[in-house]
Structure 1
Amino acid sequence: MISHGFHATMTAQPGRGDELVALLLDAPSLPVDDCVVFLVGRSAADPDVVHVTEGWTSREAHGRFFESEAAQAFVAKLQPLLTGESVYTDEVPVGGKAVL
């Protein structure tokens, strides 16, 4: 069951959207059992705008994960690809369909 989640919108440095997407899709720390949803998408109008939707079993599980060394190393790789502040919106995924 998902009780914590969010939708994040990130903007890559100009021309680095593909790198950002590749890094997110190859997140070495995922999957973890408490992360039930991890979706990566991008803007059709601007390939440097990337969206991530996450769903977790709890806020505490999410916090524990991001305190880990693996997660901190991942964030350190992510930061140089980004420009500006990422925008986070409270969101709890409830269902749907993904065919990729």
Structure 2
Amino acid sequence: MYGLIGRMLAVEGKREALLSVMLDGNAPMPGCRSYVIARDPGSDNGIWITEVWDSREQHMASLQLPHVQATIAKARPLIAGFAERFETEPMGGIGV
């Protein structure tokens, strides 16, 4: 399996709008076992995204899906940057 944990920063005052775009854009993605979007309680602009995929290749392929491309296009003006990014090798767990 392949995992990603990333912290995204919203443009000042736009976190809720960014969360809305990202949550509205959620749809099934082949190979995705878990995709969680969460507020960062330690930051007014931070968002954590935690993903588990069957493989790195399936994650990369998902970026070409029409609904993912549409979500990226809507979210881009609301994103100030990416603070942290970690790749993991999930071994299992609930919902995985």
TM above 0.5: yes
Give the secondary structure class of the aligned counterpart of 1:55: strand
Please give the root-mean-square deviation of Cα atoms over the aligned residues, in Å. 1.9
Contact 2:7/2:48 (8 A) holds in 1? yes
Q: Report the Cα offset of residue 68 of structure 1.
A: 2.5
Q: Which residue of 2 aligns with 1:17?
A: 15
Question: How far apart are the structure 1 equivalents of 2:45 and 2:62?
Answer: 27
From 40, 44, 54, the equivalent of 2:41 is: 44
- Aligned residue pairs total 94
Runs of 4+ in 1 over 6 A off after TM superposition: none
Percent of aligned positions that are identical: 28
Q: Report the Cα offset of residue 17 of structure 1.
A: 0.7
Q: TM-score, normalised by structure 2?
A: 0.83
Q: Which runs of 5+ in 1 are unaligned?
A: none
* Bigger share in strand: 2
Give the secondary structure class of the aligned counterpart of 1:67: coil
Q: Which runs of 5+ in 2 are unaligned?
A: none
